[in-house]
């Protein structure tokens, strides 16, 4: 992997990640951009104890542009975009409309491919491995920022999820606090250790492998399963068999196999609802250990992949119980979801 660091016309950082070492990235951003002005503010909720980012400047962000005006496509044929070069493998840049900025953290965009009409599932194993390298490199660099407490790499895919740009891309949030969901995991991890003496993540993976009913895919280095208490209609957790706290600690075997097993998982997601159905909307979320917390090395890196589509043409909405009280009601039994994801391997 070759990494080239440059800046955009308004001073934001942009990084090219190339699979070939002989690629030269010298294109200059020729857009007449004003300096980025943000109003991001973190406020603490005294009732729940969590944090909310207030970012009013995001109201003006780019919203569903036509394909020929996509800001994530390369700059070609006289049309200038966020990426100055006329082609790229993987690109990461600072978000122009960040939810978090300055002392409040940092937001980055990750473009998986220059092909606007593609998706992550369409990538080759080499391309997917390069995205993993980019996620890992950004995790390592952002970990060095004094204000950053946790790095969250994720992809929102599909208009139903709320995606405003159709180009295949994801994001990285560098939080100045530990995310509430991670706080819950850390508490559960500590309670499990005190109760059993074991590691929660190790025991969870071992239980799913022993049971087998909810296992979707297994490899030498990874295992994918629908969790016992899945919140979403189709939800899969992907764990490395050798527990590590974050992406930086994955060994070469796990890094190589990830591309194979994750691409297969995404392709199965697109086949859940049968032929003729539109691509399945999903969220893919990497859960990494926060920095500087007790027991960090006991945390288990994993990816959670889920869709809000519960059946053909119908979405799972977060209504009163879910939105008002955080009590989820799942219409699809986890065992049935796992069975369906195993079945679509041959379709």
Tokens 């009013």 belong to which residue?
A: 56
Give the angle 175-176-179 at the CA atoms, nearest 5°: 55
| Separation of alpha carbons 74 and 6, rounded Å | 15
- State the CB neighbour count (10 A cutoff) for residue 293: 14
> What tokens appear for 82 in the block?
């966020």
Q: Spell out, as residue ranges, where the chain has pLDDT lower than 70.
A: 57, 59-64, 346-347
Closest alpha carbon to 258 in 202, 201, 199, 305: 305
Phi, psi angle pair for 69, to nearest 5°? -120, 20
> What tokens appear for 259 in the block?
């591309």
Give Cα 169 distance to the centre of its chain.
10
| Separation of alpha carbons 251 and 155, rounded Å | 23
Indicate the SS3 state at residue 173.
strand
Single pTM value for the model: 0.96
Task: Give catalytic residue positions.
Answer: 169
Residues 87 and 16 sit within 8 Å (Cβ to Cβ): no
| Separation of alpha carbons 44 and 321, rounded Å | 23
Give the angle 88-89-94 at the CA atoms, nearest 5°: 75
One DSSP character per residue, 302-320 reads EEEEEESEEETTEE----I
One DSSP character per residue, 242-289 reads S--SSGGG--HHHHHHHHHHHHHHHHHHTTTT-TTPPPPPEEEEEE-P
| Separation of alpha carbons 124 and 115, rounded Å | 13
| pLDDT at residue 333, as a whole number | 97
One DSSP character per residue, 122-151 reads GS-HHHHHHHHHHHHHHHHHHTTSTT--EE
One DSSP character per residue, 18-84 reads ESSTT----------PPPP----EEEE-TTT--EEEE-GGGGGS--S--GGG-TTSB-BTTB--SB-
| pLDDT at residue 345, as a whole number | 87
Phi-psi region of 143 (alpha: psi -120 to 50; beta: other; left: phi over 0): alpha
Helix orientation angle between 180-196 and 200-211, rounded to the nearest 10 degrees:
80
Beta pairing, strands 13-18 & 2-7: antiparallel
| pLDDT at residue 332, as a whole number | 97
| pLDDT at residue 60, as a whole number | 60
Closest alpha carbon to 226 in 243, 206, 208: 208
* E strand or H helix at 113: none
């Amino acid at each position: 992997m070759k990494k080239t660091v440059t800046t955009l016309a308004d001073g934001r950082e942009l990084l090219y990640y190339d699979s070939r070492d002989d690629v030269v990235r010298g294109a200059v951003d020729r857009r007449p951009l004003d300096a980025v002005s943000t109003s991001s503010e973190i406020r603490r909720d005294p009732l729940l104890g969590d944090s909310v980012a207030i970012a009013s400047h995001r109201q003006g962000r780019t919203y569903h542009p036509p394909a020929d005006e996509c800001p994530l496509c390369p700059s070609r044929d006289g049309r200038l975009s966020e990426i100055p070069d006329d082609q790229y493998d993987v690109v990461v840049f600072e978000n122009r409309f960040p939810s978090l900025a300055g002392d409040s953290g940092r937001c980055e965009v990750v473009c998986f491919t220059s092909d606007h009409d593609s998706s992550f599932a369409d990538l080759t194993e080499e391309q997917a491995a390069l995205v993993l390298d980019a996620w890992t490199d950004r995790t390592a660099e952002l970990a060095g920022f004094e204000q950053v407490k946790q790095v969250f790499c994720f992809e929102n895919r599909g208009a139903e999820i709320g995606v405003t740009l159709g180009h295949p891309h994801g994001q990285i949030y560098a939080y100045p606090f530990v995310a509430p969901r991670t706080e819950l995991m850390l508490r559960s991890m500590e309670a499990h250790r005190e109760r059993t003496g074991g590691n929660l993540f190790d025991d969870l993976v071992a239980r799913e492998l022993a049971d087998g009913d909810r296992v979707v895919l297994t490899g030498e280095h990874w295992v994918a399963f629908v969790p016992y208490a899945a919140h979403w209609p189709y939800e899969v957790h992907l764990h490395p068999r050798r527990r590590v706290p974050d992406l930086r600690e994955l060994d070469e075997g796990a890094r190589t196999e990830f591309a194979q097993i994750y691409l297969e998982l995404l392709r199965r997601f697109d086949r859940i609802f049968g032929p003729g159905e539109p691509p399945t909307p999903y969220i893919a979320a990497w859960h990494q250990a926060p920095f500087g917390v007790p027991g960090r090395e006991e945390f288990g890196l994993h990816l959670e992949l889920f869709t809000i589509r519960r059946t053909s043409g119908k979405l799972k909405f977060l209504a009163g119980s879910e939105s008002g009280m955080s009590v989820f009601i799942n219409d699809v039994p986890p065992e049935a979801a796992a069975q369906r994801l195993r079945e679509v391997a041959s379709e």
